[in-house]
Amino acid sequence: MSEIELRVNATQGTGVRAGQTVRKNQILGQKTDGSGQLYFCPIDGRVLKIDFDGENHEFIITILPD
């Protein structure tokens, strides 16, 4: 499967790091809609990289699915 990009609000940071294995329903951070609600990982996989998008004040988490 090809890698996917997920976005979380940058204010509270993200609980994952590059290289880390993530599981479905693991908390990645907060949703980007400003609601403050948690954003859960939709898949199992490995975090390839995390980039910061200053313009939108969001983290972009790139995950390679298992």
Partner 1 sequence: MITLTLETKLVWQAEASSVKSTMLTVTERIDCVFIFRLWLIFGLVFGLTGVNRGESKTDYTQYNYGDVTEDVSDIRFYRGPETNEVYKQKGFSRKAKNVIFLIGDGMGPVQVQIARRKAVGAAGKLYMEKFPVTGFAKTQSANSPVTDSAAGGTALACGIKTNNGMLGMDPDQKPYRNLLEAAQEMGKKTGLVATSTISHATPAAFGSHINDRGKEQEIAAQILEHDIQVLLGGGRSHWLAENRQDKRDLLAEAKEKGYRIVTDLQQMEEAEGPYVLGLFQDSSLTTFSPEPSIGQMTRKAIQLLSRNKKNGTVCPFFGGEKNRGFFLMVEGSQIDWACHANNPENSVKQTLLFDLAVREAAVFALHDKHTLVVVTADHETGGLANLGEEVKWGGGGHSAADVPVYAFGPGSELFTGVMDNTEVARKIARAMGIREFPKVRE
The DSSP string of 2-63 is --EEEEEESTT--S--TT-EE-TT-EEEE-TTSS--EEE-SS-EEEEEEEEETTTTEEEEEE
- Name the residue nearer to partner 1 (CB basis): 14 or 45: 14
Q: Does residue 39 bind partner 1 (CB under 8 A)?
A: no
**Minimum Å distance from CB 1 to partner 1?**
26
Q: Does residue 63 bind partner 1 (CB under 8 A)?
A: no
The structure tokens 């980039």 sit at 51
Q: Does residue 36 bind partner 1 (CB under 8 A)?
A: yes
Candidates 19-27, 41-49, 52-60 — which segment interacts with partner 1 by CB under 8 A?
52-60
